[in-house]
């Protein structure tokens, strides 16, 4: 989950990777972007995903105004959140068929980690759905995805507003720690219920001579945040300086 949130600023979905630089294999050649049909499809996909996360954002605001409280807002956006976050699985297919120049393995890890948190933790452990930590990562994801899919859409159309570019490479400074905190707190809150119910765990003896402790697995996931978080966070800081400084230099020559 940590990597998914962190690398959202560097993951391609037909946007930043479309205009890749020149390659040198037997001579200088420009890397081709997706063809017209693929580009049209990616624009539609990113527009739909942008709209979907906007629906989630509006749903959160409306529920808050109606209730006058931020507690248990998850229930008001549960269905669209599951639908659009699960819909991101298509991004793995985009990489696999080559219309997006990103790593299939990395993209799979990024997407599946979020899908895992939505379905294997938040959906499966009903008791955590009212936790404020869920709202924490949902808000962070929602803002991040609205910006990310907007970025890809405008990049594909070769008309990227500076404000969206700035937001994509700046707001993660707050949104990434916010999302990671929400994810960790949600998994932590789920632990006692997972242990009590033996959720998704397999005990010995059984005919396959195999055991699996989901409780221990979740703890290992939480521990994995320790090395991943700082590494990716500072990588994103470096990317921000590189991209925005390049933009400023480009403006000077216009």
Tell me which residues are annotated as active site: 176, 183
The domain segmentation of the chain, as residue ranges, is 35-252
Q: What is the DSSP letter of 7?
A: G
Sequential pLDDT tens for the chain (254 residues): 655 545 454 555 765 443 333 333 333 344 567 899 999 999 999 999 999 999 999 999 999 999 999 999 999 999 999 999 999 999 999 999 999 999 999 999 999 999 999 999 999 999 999 999 999 999 999 999 999 999 999 999 999 999 999 999 999 999 999 999 999 999 999 999 999 999 999 999 999 999 999 999 999 999 999 999 999 999 999 999 999 887 766 655 55
For residue 200, CA distances in Å to 15, 34, 121 come to 38, 41, 11
SS3 state at 91: helix
> Distance between CA 76 and CA 80 in Å, rounded?
9
> Distance between CA 39 and CA 156 in Å, rounded?
7
Torsion of CA 116, 120, 121, 124, to 10 degrees: 150
> Distance between CA 167 and CA 99 in Å, rounded?
25
């Amino acid at each position: 989950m940590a990597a998914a949130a962190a690398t959202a600023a560097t993951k391609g979905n037909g946007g930043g990777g479309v205009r890749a630089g020149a390659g040198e294999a037997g001579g200088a050649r420009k890397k081709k972007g997706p063809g017209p049909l693929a580009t049209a499809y990616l624009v539609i996909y990113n527009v739909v995903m942008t709209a979907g996360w906007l629906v989630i954002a509006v749903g959160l605001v409306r529920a808050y105004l109606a209730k006058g409280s931020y507690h248990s807002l998850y229930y008001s956006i549960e269905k669209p959140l599951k639908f659009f976050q699960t819909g991101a699985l298509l991004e793995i297919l985009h990489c696999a068929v080559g219309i997006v120049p990103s790593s299939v393995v990395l993209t799979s890890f990024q997407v599946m980690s979020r899908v895992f948190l939505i379905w294997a933790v938040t959906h499966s452990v009903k008791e955590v759905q009212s936790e404020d930590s869920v709202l924490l990562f949902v808000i962070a994801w929602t803002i991040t995805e609205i910006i990310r899919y907007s970025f890809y859409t405008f990049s594909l159309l070769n008309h990227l507003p500076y404000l969206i570019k700035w937001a994509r490479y700046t707001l993660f400074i707050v949104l990434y720690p916010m999302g990671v905190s929400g994810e960790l707190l949600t998994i932590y809150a789920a632990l006692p219920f997972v242990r009590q119910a033996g959720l998704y765990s397999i005990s010995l003896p059984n005919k396959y001579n195999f055991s699996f402790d989901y409780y221990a697995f979740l703890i290992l996931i939480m521990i994995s945040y320790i090395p991943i978080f700082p590494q990716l966070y500072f990588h994103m800081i470096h990317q921000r300086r590189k991209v925005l400084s390049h933009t400023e230099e480009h403006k000077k020559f216009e």
